[in-house]
Amino acid sequence: MITRLLSPAASIFFIFCSFLGFSLFGQSHLGESQLRKAFVDPGHMTCAKEEMTEKFFDENPGTREAAMKARAEAAIHTADYEAKGGSGQTLFIPVVFHIIHSNGDENISNAQIHSAIEVLNEDFNASTPNIQNVVPAFSGVVGDVDVQFRLAQKDPNGDCTNGIIRTISASTFSGGTNLTSASPIWPRNRYLNVYICANIGDGVAGFTFIPADVNGAIGAGVDAIYITHPYVGRIGTGNPTRSHALSHEVGHWLNLEHTWGVTNQPGVPSNCNQDDGVSDTPNTIGWTTCNLSGNTCNSLDNVENFMDYAYCYKMFTAGQSSRMRAALASSLAQRNQLSTPSNLQFTGITEPAEICEADFTVVGSPSICPGMELEFQDLSFNGVTNWSWSFQGGSPASSNEANPTVTYNQPGNYDVSLSVSNPNGSMQVTKQALVRVLPTGDYELPLLESFEEMTEFGGDNNWEVINPDGDETREWEITSNAAYSGSNSAFVMGRFNSNGAIEVLETPTFKLSDVSESAEFTFKYAHARRNNNSDDRLRVFVSRNCGEFWNLRVTLNMADLPTVPGNVSGAFVPSGQDDWETVSIPNIMSIFLTDEFRVRFEFTSFVGNNIFIDDINVFDPLTVSTEDQDFADGVNLYPNPSGRGPVSLEYNLFESGRVRAELIDLSGRTLDLLFDADRAAGRYISQYDVSHLAPGVYFVRLNTEGSAVVKKLIVQ
């Protein structure tokens, strides 16, 4: 067994993910912690349309030749459409967002999706903020595409939807057309599919295909927009500048090229010899900086164009608008079927909003301590106009706000109900025992929890299992298959979990307010690597305020997580104490010494194996690890470990006084009073028969009027 001691400086830290490059086209076998990169804004938008189109052609023989013919057809159709003056009616496009995530920042909120729709509708209707400040030379050619994007309200089966699909998949870290395997594409003749992920490639914001290149049946399976989450919407992980990247990709999806032509290489002088097929976008070498006076091909460049890379987006031109409208009137890639009255009715976007689901969530954890607040957010759809909340045990007890804040003052488990309505109907939902208000100081120190008295988590023991994925995964549970001491331990059957699955175990509250200077926290765990691709992770957090805010104290990645050598391809079970290691966090400082102290274990599975935790120990090192001044020559407890006979408690009092000795179980509860008597100064030996005790770990606590010493007792 190995003990890992974290220094005070190392026990509170920030984790910075390294930005690791990998091939845009290669299959990666890196684990989650290696693939989850810190987002670094390159200072300009980068689109991989050309590279991904070439990849599509290379992987699908015959598609390149078919695309060349379709491009010629598109050119003829566009010219005819423009010659006839086009169509003046507003076109509506049903949209579905597929959020492929691993419970990271890429799992963006519904509000961020709604923000993305707002930005699209501004950009495609010439109402982008500051559009009145377009460079004067181009103010006369600002184009209004007159297209409205709406989240779908009916799915391909005719069932109600909010147009947002969330799927957990490790493919979020290497996003490409492989994302369609995680969440099947909806029929392209009915929906614009947008896939959101964590990463596509080094510096790549997104990509898509022009209609001609995916016109055939093979193309229908990948015809979507693929984009990383920081480039979606202007709130959350997005921002106002990057938010127009989605408009850039929709431009490609509607047959626009980059303003410098058919490459992904802006700034190259030879781009002056290329053209984007639009008459009112001057030839340019392309920009990655916002030089509004740029003149690269003997004319002023339209740097503010959405199809450039310079972060000063404001406009499409009239020519680009006409070209996109032509694409929506073309049968290539079935774009002309999207805005038909029958499809708008099928997808529900022009029908009266029908409430088809009542739902809500809690911001943060629903487990709190008395006197704390919870914020509730409505997730119902579609078209909710009225809310009626009921909060059992809360203050206020009811609310008509969309997103109310409620205070809970008494420990207990409480139901929350929501009824939503609009002129077309109503629905309601009740979530039983959703809110858990924990008692403060539930466990007194010293604590050594080895789960011997538990059969499951929850209920009166106030341990909480959380499945943030919401999917069918193996959660934390009690097992009797392995333990460091005693018979039981906590474990996650990670060997059979999906990649990216996160399982959380949170403790009850600990009473740390009586700790003199600092507390110490230790636990034992066992884990094995499954194979060389394994990338499981264990993180441990502490909280001073019942879990309202968590402070990361331990991160164990695959470099140091396994406790046994080599790979274990089957389901790992530790065979003895040598398969366990100890993690120790000393010096839990004064700011954490409250009666609302909690610990959170977070295990992430990634091609990994089972993990076990045992002997969670929280104690005051000044009272548990050292002898008190009232006792001379130390306090001894022997034999220890003990067999089935008596054990002896030996101590030597400096001065006369009241002395009390108690036997304590793992949760800090007093099991037996050994003695409570006035004693004169001197040496004493008291014996206690442990033959009636079950094998396991206990404490003997010896108190005088102003001092205490706690000794661990192991009964075998």
pLDDT of residue 633: 58
pLDDT of residue 140: 96
Distance, in Å, from the CA atom of 368 to the CA atom of 385, rounded to the nearest integer, reads 30
Q: Give the model's confidence band at 627: pLDDT under 50 very low, under 70 low, under 90 confident, else very high.
A: very low
pLDDT, tens digit, 9 for 90 and up, residues 213-272: 999 999 999 999 999 999 999 999 999 999 999 999 999 999 999 999 988 899 999 999
Torsion of CA 353, 356, 358, 363, to 10 degrees: -70
Residues 474, 494 contacting (CB under 8 angstroms): yes
Q: Is the pLDDT of residue 3 over 70?
A: no
Whole-model pTM? Answer: 0.76
Q: Per mean pLDDT, which range of 27-31, 73-77, 136-140, 291-295 is the poorest?
A: 27-31
pLDDT, tens digit, 9 for 90 and up, residues 288-315: 999 999 999 999 999 999 999 998 999 9
Q: Is the pLDDT of residue 33 over 60?
A: no
User: Which residues touch 248 (CB under 8 Å, ≥6 apart)?
Assistant: 45, 47, 205, 206, 306, 307, 313
pLDDT, tens digit, 9 for 90 and up, residues 96-134: 999 999 888 999 999 999 999 999 999 999 999 999 999
Residues 449, 616 contacting (CB under 8 angstroms): yes
Q: Per mean pLDDT, which range of 381-395, 453-467, 638-652 is the poorest?
A: 638-652
Q: Give the model's confidence band at 345: pLDDT under 50 very low, under 70 low, under 90 confident, else very high.
A: very high
Write b or e for each residue in 11-29: b if 16 or more Cβ atoms lie within 10 A of its Cβ, otherwise e.
Answer: beeeeeeeeeebebeeeee
pLDDT of residue 1: 41
Residues 438, 367 contacting (CB under 8 angstroms): yes
The DSSP code sequence of 109-172 is -HHHHHHHHHHHHHHTTT--TTGGGS-HHHHTTB----EEEEE-SB-TTS-B--SEEEEE-GGG
pLDDT of residue 34: 53
pLDDT of residue 24: 37
Distance, in Å, from the CA atom of 590 to the CA atom of 515, rounded to the nearest integer, reads 9
| Residue 384 vs residue 16, higher pLDDT | 384
Q: Per mean pLDDT, which range of 183-187, 435-439, 513-517 is the poorest?
A: 513-517
Residues 227, 245 contacting (CB under 8 angstroms): yes
Per the listing, tokens 């001065």 go with: 655
Torsion of CA 258, 261, 264, 269, to 10 degrees: -120
Distance, in Å, from the CA atom of 193 to the CA atom of 155, rounded to the nearest integer, reads 12
pLDDT of residue 436: 92
Phi, psi of 139 (to 5 degrees): -65, -25
Burial of 69 (0-12, 13-18, 19+ CB in 10 A): exposed
Per the listing, tokens 């009225």 go with: 386
Write b or e for each residue in 454-466: b if 16 or more Cβ atoms lie within 10 A of its Cβ, otherwise e.
Answer: beebeeebbbbbb
Burial of 158 (0-12, 13-18, 19+ CB in 10 A): exposed
With vertex at residue 680, the alpha carbon angle to CA 675 and CA 684, rounded to the nearest 5 degrees, is 55
Distance, in Å, from the CA atom of 647 to the CA atom of 645, rounded to the nearest integer, reads 7
Rounded average pLDDT over 614-618? 89
Distance, in Å, from the CA atom of 156 to the CA atom of 153, rounded to the nearest integer, reads 10
Distance, in Å, from the CA atom of 185 to the CA atom of 193, rounded to the nearest integer, reads 7
Structure tokens at 379: 């997730």
Phi, psi of 187 (to 5 degrees): -50, 125
**Strand order in 682-689's β-sheet?**
636-638, 646-653, 682-689
Distance, in Å, from the CA atom of 278 to the CA atom of 144, rounded to the nearest integer, reads 15
| Residue 665 vs residue 173, higher pLDDT | 173
Residues 534, 558 contacting (CB under 8 angstroms): yes
Distance, in Å, from the CA atom of 668 to the CA atom of 414, rounded to the nearest integer, reads 27
Distance, in Å, from the CA atom of 394 to the CA atom of 55, rounded to the nearest integer, reads 57
Pick the most confident of 314-328, 517-531, 619-633, 634-648: 314-328
Cis peptide before 641 (omega within 30 of 0): yes
Structure tokens at 189: 């003749």
User: Which residues touch 119 (CB under 8 Å, ≥6 apart)?
Assistant: 233, 234, 243, 244, 246, 247
Q: Is the pLDDT of residue 36 over 80?
A: no
pLDDT of residue 55: 95
Distance, in Å, from the CA atom of 438 to the CA atom of 456, rounded to the nearest integer, reads 18
Percent of the chain with pLDDT over 90: 65
Per the listing, tokens 């997104």 go with: 206
| Residue 596 vs residue 675, higher pLDDT | 596
Is 51 assigned a catalytic role?
no
Overall size of the chain counted in residues: 716
pLDDT, tens digit, 9 for 90 and up, residues 670-698: 788 888 888 777 777 777 888 888 888 88
Burial of 321 (0-12, 13-18, 19+ CB in 10 A): buried
Q: Per mean pLDDT, which range of 160-169, 358-367, 458-467, 664-673 is the poorest?
A: 664-673
> Which of 687, 683, 696, 706 is CA-nearest to residue 635?
683
Phi, psi of 511 (to 5 degrees): -85, 100
pLDDT of residue 18: 26
Q: Is the pLDDT of residue 19 over 60?
A: no
Q: Catalytic: which of 50, 82, 122, 249? A: 249
Distance, in Å, from the CA atom of 180 to the CA atom of 27, rounded to the nearest integer, reads 16
Distance, in Å, from the CA atom of 275 to the CA atom of 260, rounded to the nearest integer, reads 6
User: Which residues touch 382 (CB under 8 Å, ≥6 apart)?
Assistant: 153, 160, 162, 348, 353, 354, 355, 356
pLDDT of residue 192: 98
Distance, in Å, from the CA atom of 36 to the CA atom of 104, rounded to the nearest integer, reads 9
Rounded average pLDDT over 411-430? 96
Q: Is the pLDDT of residue 427 over 80?
A: yes
Per the listing, tokens 């001491």 go with: 485
Structure tokens at 622: 């000044």
Torsion of CA 442, 445, 449, 454, to 10 degrees: -30
Q: Is the pLDDT of residue 28 over 50?
A: no
Strand pairing class (372-378; 360-362): antiparallel
pLDDT of residue 14: 27
pLDDT averaged over every residue in the chain: 88
526, containing H or E segment: strand 519-527
Residues 389, 404 contacting (CB under 8 angstroms): yes
pLDDT of residue 459: 82
pLDDT of residue 699: 80
Structure tokens at 552: 């990361």
User: Which residues touch 702 (CB under 8 Å, ≥6 apart)?
Assistant: 631, 635, 649, 651, 659, 660, 661, 708, 709, 710, 711
pLDDT, tens digit, 9 for 90 and up, residues 84-93: 887 789 999 9
| Residue 373 vs residue 24, higher pLDDT | 373
User: Which residues touch 142 (CB under 8 Å, ≥6 apart)?
Assistant: 126, 131, 134, 315, 316, 317, 318
Residue 253 three-state SS: helix
pLDDT of residue 707: 65
Structure tokens at 316: 């499409």
pLDDT, tens digit, 9 for 90 and up, residues 481-495: 999 888 999 999 999
**Strand order in 657-664's β-sheet?**
670-679, 657-664, 696-703, 708-715
Q: What domains appear along the chain, each with residue ranges and CATH number?
A: 44-347 (3.40.390.10), 361-437 (2.60.40.10), 441-622 (2.60.120.200), 627-715 (2.60.40.1930)
Q: Give the model's confidence band at 277: pLDDT under 50 very low, under 70 low, under 90 confident, else very high.
A: very high
Sign (positive or negative) of CA dihedral 460, 462, 468, 472:
negative
